[in-house]
Chain A
């Protein structure tokens, strides 16, 4: 069965601290995609990154970085030098293109960055 687990329900940090959000997934497919979305208080889901199962290179985009490790079925997200505007709920998601392509979301991690 496909499943995404985000064990951290809430994280609170002080501005400028680094923070890592954990994501562990389960799938039987060899071809799949992993995503991170940000959901600010306004409610919309903002796409952050997509990774396919054949590309294990880590990625950095500004203060954001992602660590994909197939050996541990993890796709962790790190924010360096956090800012108050990073406060939001972050979701990790999995899709399996050989099936319906739907997104399977984790339960989310609420990040609170305090000034």
Chain B
């Protein structure tokens, strides 16, 4: 099966600009996650969707970050306006359902954002 697709692979923007990342999960996967991985740190969950509903967005900086998954399939994460500290890799992951058995997470290759 195809993996989790993310684009773009790399992005360089100036601070205060806006940027959007796209994720297409594995077909049929109901749960979609966006993680932020700052250099030298482990990934941190930004937002979790179950179908097109938000399950957890407690760590999402809502003043500048937004995410949507309108049809319960692919998702877009947006940053507006970007700050220097937003430089990170943004990882998308999906699972068939909320992984209550601990299996099923598949990660994409990520989008590396550099804010200058």
Contact = CB atoms under 8 A, between A and B. Distances in A.
Contact of A43 (B42, B45, B112): B112
Interface string B82-116: 00000001010101001111110101111010000
Contact of B107 (A45, A95, A104): A45
Given A45-B107, A102-B33, A33 B102 contact: yes
Contact of B42 (A52, A102, A108): A108
Categorize the interface residue count of chain A: 20 to 34
B102 A107 contact: no
A74 B10 CA distance: 36
Contacts of A84: none
Categorize the interface residue count of chain B: 20 to 34
Nearest to B97: A101
Nearest to A34: B102
B20 interface: no
B44 A100 contact: no
Interface of B: 31, 33, 35, 40-45, 48, 55-56, 89, 91, 93, 95, 98-103, 105, 107-110, 112
8 contacts: A35-B102, A43-B112, A50-B103, A97-B101, A101-B95, A103-B33, A103-B93, A108-B40
